[in-house]
Amino acid sequence: MAKRIENTGEPVQFTFDGQTVMAQPGDTVAAALTAAGIDILRSSVVSGSPRGVFCMMGTCFDCLVEVDGVPNRQACQIPVTEGLTVCSQQGAPDVLEASA
Amino acid sequence: MTQLSPMQPTKVDVAVIGAGPAGMAAAVTASKAGLSVALLDEGQSLGGQIYRNIEHGTPFRDGILGPDYVAGRSLAESLRASDVTYLPRTSVWNISTDNMLDLSRDGSSSQLIADKIIVATGAVERPSPMPGWTLAGVTTVGALQILLKASGVVQEDAVLVGSGPLMWLVAAQMISAGTPPKAIVETTPKGRMAQAMPHILKALKGHRYLTKGLSMMRQVRGAGVPIYNAATDIRINGHEIAESVTFVSKGKEHTIRSSHIALHQGVVPNQQVTRLLRCDHKWDASQHCFRPVLDGQGKTSVPDVYVAGDGAGIGGAKSAALMGRLVALAIAQEKGKAAPERVYRLQAALASDGAVRPFLEAMYAPAPQFVKPAKETIVCRCEEVTAGAIEDAVDLGAPGPNQVKSFLRSGMGPCQGRVCGLVVSSIIAERRKASMDETGYYRIRPPLKPIPLSELANFQPLEVAQK
Ligand SMILES: Cc1cc2nc3c(=O)[nH]c(=O)nc-3n(C[C@H](O)[C@@H](O)[C@H](O)COP(=O)(O)OP(=O)(O)OC[C@H]3O[C@@H](n4cnc5c(N)ncnc54)[C@H](O)[C@@H]3O)c2cc1C
Ligand code: FES
């Protein structure tokens, strides 16, 4: 189980798949979900198996979620803000990529 | 501050990518020499990996993370006191031939032109492919440390699987935080000490590192954490979430129950930016990784592009900062500025700080099971491509990683091979009996991260302090 060793400020609230999650100021979405014991963030694109946070540093893209309606956001790179709506992501949503 | 109109990119003398020790030190030194400097980092705050969240540390967390972490605060302070324009949450997703950097920041894009570019993008953890490593609940050891540094969150039942100094450091920090790992499954193969011994005399010059390493291991043993040595045949079991890890140690099979398994096989240079720029790279047989080819002053094969820090080859945080300063001095000199400090002193300090490396590299080279994983092991996590499929593609005639990529889509997912790249190259090299240099690496193309089209339309000018 995940545990917080200290609280640094007033809690911030957001939702994940409709469920209310409490975060601490400065948490990324991934950190807050981990602290809340939520380990599954999406299903993989080929086999549909559950995936969660892997690297926490923006390298692996295993933590992709939908944030306020925008898919493919890295949960480990996005700071929690009050009222954020986060949803798990199933398979491969249409990726918006620059064709630079 | 100058503000330019949209569509007209801001110009600086030096753009530094990455605000870890290398990038912070390079930026401060270049600025002191009288150059205009922009420091860009995709993270929320200064510090890079080692000094993550350094400006917001609490005394309690400082105590857990230790003096080598707290030491980063003075570097961050000197950066804040300088004229450097530091842009957090700013991801560099392309660099074109005319030294134009495309940036993504808070949902909008901007551009920056730099006379000189210092790549200080650091290291990433070497992949540890094994059966079950894609299950939810399996992370890297670095991920556990990031949770602790940035959010004060710890996993109470974590089993650490792997080897190397960073794994022992994180284990010691977890103990100081009051949540020791449930077990350590050490993967350093038998006989490594004998291979490392020829480097011991040199390493003793860096005895501070050896002493710290030994004291971390003592702390972990003293806390009663079960340690299993020379583990092989490792697999993670579970249905949706990890449930246990099974392995063989000293001829006996063990299974430890836990839904949080953390993997580590050391760190390797993050090649994304230097590969994007088509810098020459060479395989380093001692560090078991590719590194950009540099001259003595950190200059790459591409004009105006320099590399400092662990992205140039793993040397640790102290060396990263020293190298950042050296590279900045080389640029200052090229631009006709007086050097704010002595080059030879930095070079001597760099040589002495690196003395321990050959010993560590021999001791903690990745174990064969991670270089050439079993056939059924998923190697490319994004596209779920197994080691066996890669071998089959090679047998069908794919000569290198880019052909394997078009056969199998490995490296084509959102991570662009950041995780699997080295393993894919080593599987191909082994199968073809070719060298790593002959085999090469994935070709990296822009954008380095997926950018929503809406963002490209939303162009914002940057504000950068000019000298
Ligand atoms: C997860 C992890 C934890 C570590 N913890 C420790 C530790 O506790 N102690 C220790 O001694 N060593 C640690 N290391 C080793 C580490 O490599 C240090 O030696 C040190 O941080 C290297 O410094 P650096 O300046 O070269 O790079 P880093 O400190 O890694 O900094 C690189 C920076 O570049 C940024 N960046 C990368 N790509 C881009 C881009 N495209 N656009 C914008 N910004 C970008 C990153 O956000 C990062 O902040 C760790 C490594 C990892 C991977
Ligand atoms: S957990 Fe790896 S990118 Fe977010």
Give the pLDDT confidence of B413-460 residue by residue, as tens digits. Answer: 889 999 999 999 999 999 999 999 999 999 999 999 888 777 877 777
DSSP string, B129-168: --TTTTSBTEEEHHHHHHIIIII-EEETT-EEEEESHHHH
| CB < 8 Å to A32, chain B | 151
Q: Which residue has the tokens 């022992």?
A: B168
A81 touches chain B (CB under 8 A): no
pLDDT at A97: 45
Mutation choice for B interface testing from A4, A24, A39 by most B CBs within 10 A: A39
Residue B312 distance to chain A (closest CA, Å):
18
Nearest C-alpha neighbor of B450 from the set A75, A96, A77: A96
Phi/psi for A58 (5° steps) reads 85, 10
Nearest by CB to B415, from A40, A47, A60: name it.
A60
Question: Is the shortest distance between the CB of A55 and ligand 2 below 6 Å?
Answer: yes
In the three-class reduction of DSSP (H, G, I as helix; E, B as strand; rest coil), residue B421 is classed as helix
pLDDT < 50 stretches in chain B:
1-6
Numbers of helices and strands, H then E, in chain A: 1, 8
Angle between helices B401-408 and B421-432 (to 10 degrees): 110
CA of residue B254 to ligand 2 center, whole Å: 30
pLDDT at A92: 72
pLDDT at B7: 57
Amino acid residing at B459: F
Nearest by CB to B151, from A26, A50, A62: name it.
A26
pLDDT at B3: 44
A85 touches chain B (CB under 8 A): no
| B386-424 burial code (b ≥16 CB/10 A, e <16) | bbebbbbbbeeebebbeebbebbbbbbbbbbbbbbbbbb
State the number of CA atoms in the 13 A half-sphere of B114 facing the CB. 28
pLDDT at A4: 96
β partners of residue B102: B94, B111
CB within 8 Å: A34 and B147: yes
Amino acid residing at B174: M
Residue A86 distance to chain B (closest CA, Å):
17
What distance lies between CA B385 and its chain's CA centroid?
23
B148 touches chain A (CB under 8 A): yes
Quote the CA–CA distance of B381 and B37 in Å, as a whole number. 37
Q: Tell me the pLDDT of chain A averaged across its residues.
A: 91
B441 near B401, Cβ under 8 Å? yes
CB neighbour class for B44 (10 Å; exposed up to 12, middle 13-18, buried from 19): middle
Element (H, E) at B431: helix B421-432
Parallel/antiparallel/unpaired status of strands B108-119 and B242-249: unpaired
Region of residue B266 (left: phi > 0; alpha: psi -120 to 50; beta: else): left
Ligand lying closest to the C-alpha of residue B172:
1
Q: How many CB atoms lie within 10 A of CB B443?
A: 15
pLDDT at A93: 65
Question: Is the shortest distance between the CB of A54 and ligand 2 below 6 Å?
Answer: yes
pLDDT at B442: 96
- If you count them, how many residues does chain A have? 100
CA of residue B415 to ligand 2 center, whole Å: 9
The model's pTM is 0.96
B176 touches chain A (CB under 8 A): no
Q: Which residue does chain B place closest to A56, by CA atoms?
A: B143
Residue ID of nearest Cα to ligand 1 atom 46: B18
Nearest C-alpha neighbor of B350 from the set B318, B375, B379, B389: B318
B137 touches chain A (CB under 8 A): yes
Amino acid residing at B359: F
Q: Tell me the pLDDT of chain B averaged across its residues.
A: 94
pLDDT at B452: 77
CB within 8 Å: A57 and B146: yes
CA of residue B25 to ligand 2 center, whole Å: 27
Chain A to chain B Cβ contacts (< 8 Å):
162
Parallel/antiparallel/unpaired status of strands B261-265 and B138-140: parallel
B245 near B253, Cβ under 8 Å? no
Residues with CB under 6 A from ligand 1: A 57; B 17-23, 40-43, 48-50, 91-92, 120-125, 142, 145-146, 166, 169, 267, 273, 309-311, 316-317, 320, 448
Per residue in A34-92, pLDDT (tens digit) is: 999 999 999 998 999 999 999 999 999 999 999 999 899 999 999 999 999 999 998 87
The residues near A54 (Cβ < 8 Å, ≥ 6 apart) are A60, A62, A63, B138, B139, B140, B143, B381, B419
Quote the CA–CA distance of B53 and A25 in Å, as a whole number. 13
Predicted confidence band of residue A98 (pLDDT cuts 50, 70, 90): very low
Long-range contacts of B352-356 (CB under 8 A, 24+ apart): B352/B205, B352/B206, B353/B206, B353/B315, B353/B316, B353/B318, B353/B319, B353/B322, B354/B206, B354/B315, B354/B319, B355/B202, B355/B203, B355/B204, B355/B205, B355/B206, B356/B202, B356/B203, B356/B205, B356/B206, B356/B209, B356/B210
pLDDT at A99: 34
Mutation choice for A interface testing from B58, B153, B237, B310 by most A CBs within 10 A: B153
A49 near A62, Cβ under 8 Å? no
pLDDT at B217: 95
Residue ID of nearest Cα to ligand 1 atom 2: B142
Strands (E) across B41-145 are located at: 85-87, 90-96, 100-105, 108-119, 123-125, 138-140
Radius of gyration for chain A, computed over Cα atoms and rounded to the nearest angstrom: 13
Quote the CA–CA distance of B76 and B39 in Å, as a whole number. 12
Radius of gyration for chain B, computed over Cα atoms and rounded to the nearest angstrom: 22
Asked whether the predicted pLDDT for residue A8 surpasses 90, the reply is no
| B281-293 burial code (b ≥16 CB/10 A, e <16) | bebbeebbbbbbe
Residue A70 distance to chain B (closest CA, Å):
9
A3 touches chain B (CB under 8 A): yes
Per residue in A13-39, pLDDT (tens digit) is: 999 999 999 999 999 999 999 999 999
